[in-house]
């Protein structure tokens, strides 16, 4: 399997889809947006983008299945799957706000092999494979060199529906507001992870996520020199619905803080 050839074609496809979505935004009517659940929205743009991605990716690896947010295609229980988020940050998109992103990963079981994240508002495409460094528009990127949490800029995301862990999350945010350079919430987990890889954020954590939110970003962070884990320090971050991503230097300190607050909701 030639990952370099596959990722080149995936980058081109993600750019095409992201630019199409950006062009559609001006004409999007709020009344055409459907609610899949509380605070969970979908539009014809999401569905069309996903169909474009699946149709474009399928010929690249006919043996691979699809794990896609809107359910296009079907997953393979074992082996290769494309993990696709056609429009990460839909709420931002329907309100005319950046960022929003196309996120595509190829996974073998639970292991990401390549990831592509395209944020069309800034025309920035981040990608990496397990055999290559992380790139932004073709140029190498690396995580930051911030050595400690006190000097860090941290990104997070707010829960949309799972409020069972909210007490610990609120305590974690209060601590980070008081003891870092700041806390940011962009509304697109894929973009947050890409920005960790590029050194713009020093750390990111969020729970209540789906595989298509994080699979691409995780491998990009890793290939940019960062570290990724779940809230217990393990490797179940693609399918485990929670993720910590850092610049490596402050990983143990930051992960320890998240674990302390998020694994104790008393």
Q: Determine phi and psi for 205, rounding to 5 degrees.
A: -150, 145
Residue 161 has what pLDDT? 80
Query: Which CATH code for domain 3-140?
Result: 3.30.540.10
- Largest Cα–Cα separation, the chain: 50
Quick: pLDDT tens for 246-261: 999 999 999 999 999 9
Would you give the distance in Å from CA 11 to the centre of its chain?
15
Residue 34 has what pLDDT? 55
List b or e across 66-94, with b for residues whose CB sees 16 or more CB atoms inside 10 angstroms. bbbbbebbebeeeeebbbbbbbbbbebbb
Hey, where are the domains in the chain?
3-140, 149-262
Residues 161, 226: Cα–Cα separation, whole Å? 29
Quick: pLDDT tens for 113-145: 999 999 999 999 999 999 999 999 999 999 999
The whole-model pTM stands at 0.94
The answer regarding whether domain 149-262 maps to CATH 3.30.70.20 reads no
Q: Determine phi and psi for 64, rounding to 5 degrees.
A: -90, 145
Query: What is the pLDDT confidence band of residue 30, given thresholds at 50, 70 and 90?
Result: low
Per-residue DSSP letters for the chain?
--HHHHHHHHHHHHHHHHHHHHHHHTT--GGG-EEEETTEEE-HHHHHHHHHHHHHHTTT-TT-EEEETT--S---SSSEEEEEEEEETHHHHHTT-S--EEEEEEEETTEEEEEEEEETTTTEEEEEETTS--EETTEE-------SGGG-EEEE---SS--TTHHHHHHHHHHHHHHSSEEE--S-HHHHHHHHHTTS-SEEEEES--HHHHHHHHHHHHHTT-EEE-TTSSS--SSSSEEEEE-STTHHHHHHHHHHHHT---
Quick: pLDDT tens for 159-202: 888 888 999 999 999 999 999 999 999 999 999 999 999 999 99
pLDDT at position 15 over 70? yes
- CA-based nearest residue to 207, from 257, 246, 237, 242: 242
pLDDT at position 39 over 50? no
Residue 121 in tokens: 């508002």
């Amino acid at each position: 399997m030639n990952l370099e050839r596959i990722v080149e074609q995936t980058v081109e496809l993600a750019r095409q889809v992201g630019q199409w979505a950006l062009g559609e935004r001006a004409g999007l009517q709020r009344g055409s947006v459907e609610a899949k659940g509380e605070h969970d929205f979908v539009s014809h743009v999401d569905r069309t983008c996903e169909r474009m991605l699946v149709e474009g990716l399928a010929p690249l690896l006919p043996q691979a299945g699809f794990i896609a947010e809107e359910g296009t295609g079907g997953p393979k229980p074992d082996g290769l799957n494309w993990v696709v988020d056609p429009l990460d940050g839909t709420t931002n998109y329907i309100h005319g706000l950046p960022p929003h992103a196309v996120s595509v990963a190829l996974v073998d079981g639970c292991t990401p092999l390549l990831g592509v994240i395209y944020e069309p508002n800034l025309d920035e495409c981040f990608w990496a494979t397990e055999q290559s460094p992380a790139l932004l528009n073709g140029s190498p990127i690396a995580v930051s060199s911030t050595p400690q949490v006190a000097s860090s800029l941290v990104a997070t995301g707010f829960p949309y529906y799972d409020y069972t862990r909210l007490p610990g999350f609120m305590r974690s945010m209060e601590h980070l507001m008081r003891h870092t350079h700041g806390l940011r919430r962009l509304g697109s987990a894929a973009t947050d992870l890409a920005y960790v890889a590029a050194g713009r954020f020093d750390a990111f954590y969020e729970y209540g996520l789906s595989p298509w939110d994080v699979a691409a970003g995780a491998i990009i962070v890793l290939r940019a020199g960062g570290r990724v884990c779940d809230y217990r320090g393990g490797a179940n971050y693609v399918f485990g619905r929670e993720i910590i991503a850092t610049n490596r230097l402050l990983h143990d300190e930051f992960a320890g803080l998240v674990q302390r607050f998020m694994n104790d909701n008393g």
